[in-house]
Chains A and B, each alone.
With several copies, the nearest count.
Chain A
Amino acid sequence: MSMKKDYEDIPGTFVFDADRSREGYHLNQFCISLRLQKNRDAFNANEEAYLDKYPMKPEQRDAVLKRDWNRLLELGGNIYYTSKLAANDGINFQNLAGLMTGMGVDAYRDMMLNGGRKVDGNRFKKEWGEE
Protein backbone atom coordinates (compact mmCIF):
# COMPACT_ATOMS: atom_id res chain seq x y z
CA MET A 1 0.00 0.00 0.00
CA SER A 2 2.32 2.72 1.17
CA MET A 3 5.31 0.53 0.43
CA LYS A 4 6.92 2.38 -2.43
CA LYS A 5 7.69 0.33 -5.49
CA ASP A 6 11.16 1.38 -6.53
CA TYR A 7 11.01 -1.06 -9.44
CA GLU A 8 7.97 0.39 -11.18
CA ASP A 9 10.01 2.59 -13.49
CA ILE A 10 11.71 -0.34 -15.25
CA PRO A 11 10.38 -0.58 -18.82
CA GLY A 12 8.87 -3.67 -20.41
CA THR A 13 8.92 -5.57 -17.13
CA PHE A 14 6.44 -6.79 -14.55
CA VAL A 15 7.74 -7.43 -11.07
CA PHE A 16 5.62 -10.23 -9.65
CA ASP A 17 4.87 -8.69 -6.28
CA ALA A 18 2.04 -9.38 -3.84
CA ASP A 19 -0.42 -7.17 -5.74
CA ARG A 20 0.21 -8.97 -9.03
CA SER A 21 0.25 -12.34 -7.31
CA ARG A 22 -3.17 -11.68 -5.80
CA GLU A 23 -4.58 -10.54 -9.12
CA GLY A 24 -3.17 -13.50 -11.03
CA TYR A 25 -3.75 -16.24 -8.47
CA HIS A 26 -6.33 -18.39 -10.27
CA LEU A 27 -4.75 -17.77 -13.66
CA ASN A 28 -1.38 -18.93 -12.38
CA GLN A 29 -2.86 -21.94 -10.61
CA PHE A 30 -4.50 -22.93 -13.88
CA CYS A 31 -1.20 -22.62 -15.72
CA ILE A 32 0.76 -24.69 -13.21
CA SER A 33 -1.86 -27.45 -13.38
CA LEU A 34 -0.58 -28.07 -16.93
CA ARG A 35 2.66 -29.34 -15.43
CA LEU A 36 1.07 -32.81 -15.32
CA GLN A 37 0.24 -34.87 -18.40
CA LYS A 38 -3.24 -35.87 -17.26
CA ASN A 39 -4.18 -32.22 -16.88
CA ARG A 40 -2.67 -31.30 -20.23
CA ASP A 41 -4.75 -34.05 -21.82
CA ALA A 42 -7.93 -32.77 -20.18
CA PHE A 43 -7.22 -29.17 -21.13
CA ASN A 44 -6.39 -30.06 -24.73
CA ALA A 45 -9.55 -32.13 -25.04
CA ASN A 46 -11.79 -29.24 -23.97
CA GLU A 47 -10.22 -25.93 -23.04
CA GLU A 48 -13.44 -24.17 -22.03
CA ALA A 49 -14.60 -26.97 -19.73
CA TYR A 50 -11.18 -27.22 -18.13
CA LEU A 51 -11.02 -23.48 -17.52
CA ASP A 52 -14.38 -23.59 -15.74
CA LYS A 53 -12.57 -25.11 -12.75
CA TYR A 54 -10.54 -21.93 -12.24
CA PRO A 55 -12.47 -18.85 -11.12
CA MET A 56 -10.38 -16.38 -13.08
CA LYS A 57 -11.62 -13.09 -14.48
CA PRO A 58 -13.21 -13.11 -17.96
CA GLU A 59 -10.36 -11.11 -19.48
CA GLN A 60 -7.83 -13.55 -18.03
CA ARG A 61 -9.78 -16.49 -19.44
CA ASP A 62 -9.99 -14.73 -22.77
CA ALA A 63 -6.23 -14.13 -22.81
CA VAL A 64 -5.65 -17.83 -22.10
CA LEU A 65 -7.92 -18.91 -24.94
CA LYS A 66 -6.28 -16.41 -27.32
CA ARG A 67 -2.76 -17.20 -26.08
CA ASP A 68 -2.22 -13.49 -25.68
CA TRP A 69 1.08 -13.91 -23.86
CA ASN A 70 1.64 -10.29 -22.95
CA ARG A 71 -1.94 -9.76 -21.83
CA LEU A 72 -1.53 -12.74 -19.50
CA LEU A 73 1.33 -10.95 -17.78
CA GLU A 74 -0.54 -7.65 -17.69
CA LEU A 75 -3.38 -9.42 -15.86
CA GLY A 76 -1.21 -10.89 -13.09
CA GLY A 77 0.30 -13.90 -14.80
CA ASN A 78 3.90 -14.77 -14.04
CA ILE A 79 6.26 -16.07 -16.68
CA TYR A 80 7.12 -19.28 -14.81
CA TYR A 81 3.41 -20.08 -14.80
CA THR A 82 2.48 -18.89 -18.30
CA SER A 83 5.45 -20.80 -19.70
CA LYS A 84 3.64 -24.02 -18.68
CA LEU A 85 0.79 -23.05 -21.03
CA ALA A 86 3.35 -22.25 -23.70
CA ALA A 87 5.10 -25.60 -23.15
CA ASN A 88 1.76 -27.31 -23.65
CA ASP A 89 1.61 -25.58 -27.05
CA GLY A 90 5.17 -26.66 -27.86
CA ILE A 91 6.62 -23.18 -27.34
CA ASN A 92 9.86 -23.04 -25.35
CA PHE A 93 11.16 -20.12 -23.27
CA GLN A 94 13.18 -18.63 -26.10
CA ASN A 95 10.39 -18.72 -28.65
CA LEU A 96 7.95 -17.36 -26.08
CA ALA A 97 10.30 -14.42 -25.59
CA GLY A 98 10.35 -13.95 -29.35
CA LEU A 99 6.57 -13.60 -29.25
CA MET A 100 6.38 -11.36 -26.15
CA THR A 101 8.95 -8.91 -27.44
CA GLY A 102 7.11 -8.63 -30.76
CA MET A 103 10.42 -9.34 -32.53
CA GLY A 104 9.50 -12.76 -33.78
CA VAL A 105 11.40 -15.93 -33.07
CA ASP A 106 14.26 -15.50 -35.56
CA ALA A 107 15.11 -11.89 -34.85
CA TYR A 108 15.01 -12.62 -31.13
CA ARG A 109 17.35 -15.58 -31.50
CA ASP A 110 19.74 -13.46 -33.52
CA MET A 111 19.70 -10.74 -30.88
CA MET A 112 20.60 -13.32 -28.24
CA LEU A 113 23.43 -14.70 -30.40
CA ASN A 114 24.76 -11.17 -30.68
CA GLY A 115 24.97 -10.74 -26.91
CA GLY A 116 21.37 -10.08 -26.03
CA ARG A 117 19.45 -6.87 -25.39
CA LYS A 118 21.76 -4.13 -24.16
CA VAL A 119 20.98 -2.54 -20.83
CA ASP A 120 21.77 0.97 -22.08
CA GLY A 121 18.51 2.64 -23.00
CA ASN A 122 16.52 -0.10 -21.26
CA ARG A 123 16.83 0.85 -17.62
CA PHE A 124 14.04 3.40 -17.23
CA LYS A 125 10.57 3.81 -18.66
CA LYS A 126 11.43 7.35 -19.67
CA GLU A 127 14.10 5.95 -21.97
CA TRP A 128 11.24 4.14 -23.74
CA GLY A 129 9.15 7.30 -23.85
CA GLU A 130 6.87 5.87 -21.17
CA GLU A 131 6.00 7.33 -17.81
Chain B
Amino acid sequence: MARITAGVGVSHVPAIGVAMDTKITDQPYWQPVFKGFEKSREWMKEKKPDVIFLVYNDHCTAFDASCIPTFALGCAAEFQPADEGWGPRPVPVVKNHQKLASHIAQSLILDEFDITIMNEMEVDHGLTVPLSVMYGDMTPEDEWPALVIPLAVNVVQYPAPTGNRCFNLGKAIRKAVESFDEDLNVVIFGTGGMSHQLQYKRAGLINAEWDKRFLDLLTEDPVFASKIPHVEYLREAGSEGVEMVMWHVMRGALDEEVVEVHRHYHVPASNTAVGHIILENKAA
Protein backbone atom coordinates (compact mmCIF):
# COMPACT_ATOMS: atom_id res chain seq x y z
CA MET B 1 0.00 0.00 0.00
CA ALA B 2 1.10 3.57 -0.61
CA ARG B 3 1.75 5.73 2.45
CA ILE B 4 2.66 9.30 3.32
CA THR B 5 5.74 9.18 5.50
CA ALA B 6 6.78 12.80 5.86
CA GLY B 7 5.89 16.39 5.11
CA VAL B 8 7.97 19.32 3.93
CA GLY B 9 7.02 22.97 4.33
CA VAL B 10 9.00 25.32 2.12
CA SER B 11 8.88 28.81 0.62
CA HIS B 12 8.90 29.02 -3.19
CA VAL B 13 10.31 32.51 -3.80
CA PRO B 14 10.98 33.01 -7.54
CA ALA B 15 14.29 34.79 -6.87
CA ILE B 16 15.59 31.59 -5.25
CA GLY B 17 15.03 29.83 -8.56
CA VAL B 18 16.74 32.65 -10.42
CA ALA B 19 19.72 32.45 -8.03
CA MET B 20 20.11 28.74 -8.74
CA ASP B 21 19.55 29.10 -12.47
CA THR B 22 22.14 31.88 -12.73
CA LYS B 23 24.63 30.09 -10.41
CA ILE B 24 24.96 32.84 -7.83
CA THR B 25 24.02 30.76 -4.80
CA ASP B 26 27.42 31.27 -3.18
CA GLN B 27 27.14 35.05 -3.16
CA PRO B 28 26.92 36.46 0.38
CA TYR B 29 23.30 37.48 -0.18
CA TRP B 30 22.23 33.92 -1.09
CA GLN B 31 24.68 31.75 0.84
CA PRO B 32 22.68 31.71 4.11
CA VAL B 33 19.45 30.91 2.19
CA PHE B 34 20.96 27.79 0.63
CA LYS B 35 22.98 26.74 3.68
CA GLY B 36 19.70 25.84 5.35
CA PHE B 37 18.83 23.36 2.62
CA GLU B 38 22.05 21.32 2.84
CA LYS B 39 20.59 19.01 5.45
CA SER B 40 17.34 18.81 3.46
CA ARG B 41 19.17 17.53 0.40
CA GLU B 42 20.84 14.82 2.51
CA TRP B 43 17.45 13.95 3.97
CA MET B 44 15.93 13.61 0.49
CA LYS B 45 18.69 11.22 -0.52
CA GLU B 46 18.01 9.04 2.51
CA LYS B 47 14.24 9.32 2.32
CA LYS B 48 14.06 8.63 -1.43
CA PRO B 49 10.38 9.40 -1.99
CA ASP B 50 8.82 7.60 -4.95
CA VAL B 51 6.21 10.31 -5.26
CA ILE B 52 5.99 13.90 -4.05
CA PHE B 53 2.48 15.27 -3.59
CA LEU B 54 3.24 18.95 -4.10
CA VAL B 55 0.79 21.60 -2.88
CA TYR B 56 1.55 24.98 -4.41
CA ASN B 57 -0.12 27.94 -6.04
CA ASP B 58 0.01 29.10 -9.59
CA HIS B 59 1.00 32.79 -9.85
CA CYS B 60 -1.21 33.76 -12.81
CA THR B 61 0.78 31.53 -15.13
CA ALA B 62 -1.17 28.40 -16.06
CA PHE B 63 -4.38 30.05 -14.86
CA ASP B 64 -5.34 33.52 -15.96
CA ALA B 65 -8.37 35.35 -14.58
CA SER B 66 -10.83 33.50 -16.81
CA CYS B 67 -10.83 30.30 -14.75
CA ILE B 68 -9.90 30.19 -11.06
CA PRO B 69 -10.13 26.73 -9.46
CA THR B 70 -9.90 26.56 -5.69
CA PHE B 71 -8.14 23.18 -5.87
CA ALA B 72 -6.74 21.96 -9.20
CA LEU B 73 -5.21 18.49 -9.20
CA GLY B 74 -2.73 17.68 -11.96
CA CYS B 75 -3.65 14.39 -13.66
CA ALA B 76 -1.63 14.84 -16.88
CA ALA B 77 1.30 12.57 -17.74
CA GLU B 78 3.75 15.44 -17.39
CA PHE B 79 3.99 19.15 -16.71
CA GLN B 80 6.30 21.55 -18.54
CA PRO B 81 8.02 24.37 -16.61
CA ALA B 82 6.24 27.54 -17.71
CA ASP B 83 7.47 30.80 -19.19
CA GLU B 84 6.45 33.30 -16.53
CA GLY B 85 7.58 36.29 -18.52
CA TRP B 86 11.33 35.72 -18.53
CA GLY B 87 11.58 32.28 -20.18
CA PRO B 88 10.99 28.83 -18.65
CA ARG B 89 13.29 27.71 -15.85
CA PRO B 90 16.05 25.35 -17.09
CA VAL B 91 14.90 22.38 -15.01
CA PRO B 92 13.59 18.92 -15.90
CA VAL B 93 10.03 18.33 -17.03
CA VAL B 94 7.88 17.22 -14.09
CA LYS B 95 6.51 13.69 -14.45
CA ASN B 96 3.36 12.49 -12.77
CA HIS B 97 2.30 9.20 -11.23
CA GLN B 98 -0.82 9.41 -13.34
CA LYS B 99 -2.68 6.44 -11.89
CA LEU B 100 -2.17 7.55 -8.32
CA ALA B 101 -3.15 11.11 -9.25
CA SER B 102 -6.44 10.07 -10.78
CA HIS B 103 -7.09 7.63 -7.96
CA ILE B 104 -6.67 10.54 -5.54
CA ALA B 105 -8.94 12.75 -7.65
CA GLN B 106 -11.72 10.15 -7.56
CA SER B 107 -11.32 9.50 -3.88
CA LEU B 108 -11.37 13.22 -3.04
CA ILE B 109 -14.52 13.91 -5.03
CA LEU B 110 -16.33 11.00 -3.40
CA ASP B 111 -15.11 12.42 -0.07
CA GLU B 112 -16.85 15.68 -1.03
CA PHE B 113 -13.86 17.79 -2.01
CA ASP B 114 -14.80 19.70 -5.15
CA ILE B 115 -11.55 19.20 -7.05
CA THR B 116 -10.86 20.47 -10.54
CA ILE B 117 -9.09 17.81 -12.61
CA MET B 118 -6.30 19.17 -14.84
CA ASN B 119 -5.25 16.99 -17.76
CA GLU B 120 -2.98 19.72 -19.19
CA MET B 121 -1.05 22.22 -17.12
CA GLU B 122 2.23 24.09 -17.11
CA VAL B 123 3.88 24.60 -13.74
CA ASP B 124 5.53 27.77 -12.49
CA HIS B 125 8.13 28.61 -9.84
CA GLY B 126 5.61 27.75 -7.12
CA LEU B 127 6.16 24.09 -7.99
CA THR B 128 9.68 23.99 -9.42
CA VAL B 129 11.52 26.08 -6.82
CA PRO B 130 10.66 23.67 -3.97
CA LEU B 131 11.95 20.78 -6.08
CA SER B 132 15.13 22.72 -6.86
CA VAL B 133 15.94 23.65 -3.27
CA MET B 134 15.27 20.12 -2.05
CA TYR B 135 17.10 18.26 -4.82
CA GLY B 136 19.79 20.77 -5.81
CA ASP B 137 20.90 21.76 -9.30
CA MET B 138 19.32 19.89 -12.20
CA THR B 139 19.38 20.53 -15.92
CA PRO B 140 16.54 20.01 -18.39
CA GLU B 141 18.30 16.80 -19.48
CA ASP B 142 18.09 15.32 -15.96
CA GLU B 143 15.12 13.63 -14.37
CA TRP B 144 13.62 14.64 -11.05
CA PRO B 145 14.32 11.70 -8.71
CA ALA B 146 10.62 11.44 -7.80
CA LEU B 147 7.32 11.52 -9.64
CA VAL B 148 5.28 14.58 -8.69
CA ILE B 149 1.53 15.07 -8.26
CA PRO B 150 0.78 18.80 -8.32
CA LEU B 151 -2.12 20.37 -6.45
CA ALA B 152 -2.60 24.03 -7.31
CA VAL B 153 -4.49 26.07 -4.72
CA ASN B 154 -6.03 29.47 -5.41
CA VAL B 155 -4.45 32.01 -3.08
CA VAL B 156 -4.42 34.93 -5.54
CA GLN B 157 -8.08 35.90 -5.59
CA TYR B 158 -9.65 36.29 -2.18
CA PRO B 159 -10.83 34.09 -0.58
CA ALA B 160 -8.33 31.27 -0.53
CA PRO B 161 -9.75 28.07 0.94
CA THR B 162 -9.82 28.24 4.73
CA GLY B 163 -7.00 26.75 6.78
CA ASN B 164 -9.49 24.27 8.16
CA ARG B 165 -10.54 23.18 4.68
CA CYS B 166 -6.89 22.75 3.70
CA PHE B 167 -6.18 20.69 6.82
CA ASN B 168 -9.15 18.42 6.12
CA LEU B 169 -8.09 18.10 2.50
CA GLY B 170 -4.76 16.83 3.78
CA LYS B 171 -6.56 14.13 5.75
CA ALA B 172 -8.56 13.12 2.69
CA ILE B 173 -5.39 12.97 0.58
CA ARG B 174 -3.84 10.64 3.14
CA LYS B 175 -6.91 8.39 3.04
CA ALA B 176 -6.75 8.34 -0.76
CA VAL B 177 -3.05 7.50 -0.81
CA GLU B 178 -3.50 4.71 1.74
CA SER B 179 -6.20 3.08 -0.37
CA PHE B 180 -3.86 2.79 -3.37
CA ASP B 181 -2.53 -0.73 -3.90
CA GLU B 182 1.05 0.00 -4.88
CA ASP B 183 3.93 0.11 -2.47
CA LEU B 184 4.92 3.77 -2.67
CA ASN B 185 6.74 6.12 -0.35
CA VAL B 186 4.96 9.46 -0.66
CA VAL B 187 6.22 12.74 0.78
CA ILE B 188 3.90 15.73 0.79
CA PHE B 189 5.10 19.31 0.29
CA GLY B 190 3.25 22.42 1.42
CA THR B 191 4.77 25.50 -0.17
CA GLY B 192 4.58 29.29 -0.24
CA GLY B 193 5.15 32.02 2.31
CA MET B 194 6.39 32.80 4.76
CA SER B 195 5.56 36.40 5.63
CA HIS B 196 5.72 38.69 2.62
CA GLN B 197 3.87 41.46 0.87
CA LEU B 198 4.75 42.18 -2.74
CA GLN B 199 2.34 45.01 -3.43
CA TYR B 200 1.59 48.66 -2.79
CA LYS B 201 2.80 50.89 -0.01
CA ARG B 202 3.16 48.24 2.68
CA ALA B 203 5.37 46.03 0.46
CA GLY B 204 8.32 44.48 2.27
CA LEU B 205 6.44 43.51 5.42
CA ILE B 206 8.16 40.72 7.34
CA ASN B 207 6.99 39.28 10.64
CA ALA B 208 9.62 36.86 11.88
CA GLU B 209 7.97 36.41 15.26
CA TRP B 210 4.68 35.41 13.67
CA ASP B 211 6.40 33.08 11.21
CA LYS B 212 8.30 31.28 13.98
CA ARG B 213 5.12 30.84 15.98
CA PHE B 214 3.48 29.42 12.85
CA LEU B 215 6.29 26.87 12.51
CA ASP B 216 5.98 25.96 16.20
CA LEU B 217 2.22 25.52 15.92
CA LEU B 218 2.56 23.47 12.78
CA THR B 219 4.58 20.90 14.67
CA GLU B 220 2.84 21.04 18.02
CA ASP B 221 -0.74 22.23 17.58
CA PRO B 222 -1.71 21.92 13.92
CA VAL B 223 -5.45 22.01 14.58
CA PHE B 224 -5.12 25.35 16.31
CA ALA B 225 -2.91 26.59 13.46
CA SER B 226 -5.50 25.53 10.90
CA LYS B 227 -8.08 27.82 12.52
CA ILE B 228 -6.09 31.00 11.91
CA PRO B 229 -8.45 33.28 9.95
CA HIS B 230 -7.48 34.81 6.61
CA VAL B 231 -7.42 38.32 8.02
CA GLU B 232 -4.64 37.35 10.44
CA TYR B 233 -2.38 36.17 7.61
CA LEU B 234 -3.15 39.32 5.64
CA ARG B 235 -2.55 41.70 8.53
CA GLU B 236 0.31 39.94 10.34
CA ALA B 237 2.15 38.15 7.54
CA GLY B 238 1.44 40.41 4.55
CA SER B 239 -1.04 40.12 1.73
CA GLU B 240 0.93 37.31 0.05
CA GLY B 241 1.55 35.57 3.39
CA VAL B 242 -1.85 33.92 2.96
CA GLU B 243 -0.01 31.36 0.83
CA MET B 244 0.76 29.63 4.11
CA VAL B 245 -2.72 28.07 4.15
CA MET B 246 -1.16 25.51 1.80
CA TRP B 247 1.09 24.24 4.58
CA HIS B 248 -2.03 22.99 6.39
CA VAL B 249 -2.75 20.54 3.56
CA MET B 250 0.68 19.03 4.18
CA ARG B 251 0.20 18.95 7.93
CA GLY B 252 -3.29 17.44 7.69
CA ALA B 253 -1.86 14.51 5.75
CA LEU B 254 0.53 13.59 8.59
CA ASP B 255 0.01 11.94 11.96
CA GLU B 256 -1.27 14.01 14.83
CA GLU B 257 2.17 13.67 16.43
CA VAL B 258 5.21 14.24 14.29
CA VAL B 259 8.94 14.68 14.73
CA GLU B 260 10.43 17.94 13.51
CA VAL B 261 13.68 16.79 11.92
CA HIS B 262 14.78 20.09 10.41
CA ARG B 263 13.96 23.78 10.42
CA HIS B 264 15.40 26.75 8.57
CA TYR B 265 14.40 30.40 8.65
CA HIS B 266 16.07 33.34 6.95
CA VAL B 267 15.25 36.93 5.97
CA PRO B 268 15.35 38.06 3.22
CA ALA B 269 15.11 36.41 -0.16
CA SER B 270 14.06 39.29 -2.37
CA ASN B 271 10.84 40.49 -0.63
CA THR B 272 10.22 37.38 1.40
CA ALA B 273 10.96 35.50 4.59
CA VAL B 274 12.21 32.03 3.71
CA GLY B 275 10.86 29.29 5.95
CA HIS B 276 11.36 25.56 5.81
CA ILE B 277 10.45 22.60 7.99
CA ILE B 278 10.65 18.84 7.70
CA LEU B 279 8.20 16.72 9.69
CA GLU B 280 8.22 12.94 9.92
CA ASN B 281 5.53 10.60 11.07
CA LYS B 282 6.84 8.76 14.14
CA ALA B 283 5.96 5.34 12.78
CA ALA B 284 7.69 6.03 9.50
Residues of A within 8 A of B (CB): 1-3, 6-7, 10-19, 21-22, 25, 28-29, 32, 34-37, 40, 70, 73, 78-81, 83-84, 87-88, 92-94, 96-97, 100-102, 108, 111-113, 115-119, 122-123
Contacting pair A18 B179 (CB below 8 A): no
Mark the stretch among B34-42, B58-66, B130-138 that contacts chain A. B58-66
Question: How many Å lie between the Cα of A96 and that of B200 in the bound state?
Answer: 9
- How distant is the Cα of A35 from the Cα of B81 in the complex, in angstroms? 13
Closest Cβ of chain B to A48, distance in Å, is 21
Tell me whether A119 and B207 are in contact (CB under 8 A). Answer: yes
Query: Interface centre among A73, A88, A92, A122, by most B CB within 10 Å?
Result: A122
Measuring CB to CB, which residues of chain B are less than 8 angstroms from any residue of chain A?
A: 14-15, 59-61, 64-66, 75, 82-86, 98-100, 102-103, 105-107, 119, 156-159, 179-182, 195, 197-208, 210, 229-231, 234-236, 239-240, 267-268, 270-271, 273
A103 to chain B, nearest CB (A): 8
A7 and B230: CB pair below 8 A? yes
Inter-subunit contact B65/A79 (CB<8 Å): no
List residues of chain A with CB within 8 A of the CB of B103. 1, 3, 18
CB–CB B15/A11 < 8 A: no
CB-based contact B204/A93 at 8 Å: no
Q: Is the CB of A21 within 8 A of B102?
A: yes
Question: Across the interface, do B66 and A29 meet the contact criterion of CB distance under 8 Å?
Answer: yes
Known: A6-B231, A18-B102. A116 touches B206 (CB 8 A): yes
**A122 cross-chain contacts in B, Cβ below 8 A:** 202, 205
Please measure, in the bound complex, the distance between the C-alpha atom of A112 and the C-alpha atom of B181, giving whole angstroms. 43
Could you say which of B229, B230, B235 contacts A123, with CB atoms under 8 Å apart?
B235
Which chain B residues border A81 with CB–CB below 8 Å? 60, 65
Closest beta carbon of chain A to B238's beta carbon, Å = 8
Enumerate chain A residues within 8 angstroms of B206, measured Cβ to Cβ: 112, 115-119
A-B contact pairs, 21 of them (CB 8 A): A2-B180, A3-B103, A12-B200, A12-B201, A13-B197, A16-B158, A18-B102, A18-B103, A25-B119, A28-B60, A32-B60, A32-B64, A40-B85, A73-B199, A80-B60, A93-B271, A94-B15, A112-B206, A116-B267, A117-B202, A117-B206
Asked whether A102 and B65 contact (CB < 8 A) given A10-B235, A18-B157, the answer is no
Q: How far is the CA of A67 from the CA of B195 in the complex (A)?
A: 27
* Set of chain B residues within 8 Å of A92, measured between Cβ atoms: 15, 270
CB contacts (< 8 Å) of B75 on chain A: these are 18, 22
Q: Rank and list the top 7 A-B pairs by shortest CB-CB distance, nearest first.
A: A116-B206, A12-B202, A12-B201, A18-B102, A79-B199, A87-B85, A97-B203
Who on chain B is nearest to A116 by CB? B206
CB pair B156–A94 under 8 Å, yes or no, is no
A92 to chain B, nearest CB (A): 7
Least Cβ distance of A124 to chain B in Å?
Answer: 8
Cβ contact of A93, chosen from B14, B66, B102, cutoff 8 A: B14
Is the beta-carbon distance between B268 and A13 smaller than 8 angstroms? no
Chain B residues positioned under 8 Å from A18 (CB to CB): 75, 102-103, 105-106, 157-158
List chain B residues, Cβ under 8 A from A78.
60, 156-157, 199
A80, B59: Cβ atoms closer than 8 Å: yes
**Residues of B with C-beta under 8 A to A12:** 200-203
* Interchain nearest-CB distance for B272 vs A (Å): 9
Residues of chain A within 8 A of B239, CB atoms compared = 10, 13-15
Q: Inside 8 A of B157's CB, which chain A residues have their CB?
A: 16-18, 21, 78
Q: Are A13 and B102 in contact (CB under 8 A)?
A: no
In the assembly, what is the distance between CA of A76 and CA of B264, in Å?
36
Whether A16 contacts B198 in the complex (CB less than 8 A), given A2-B179, A94-B15, comes out as no
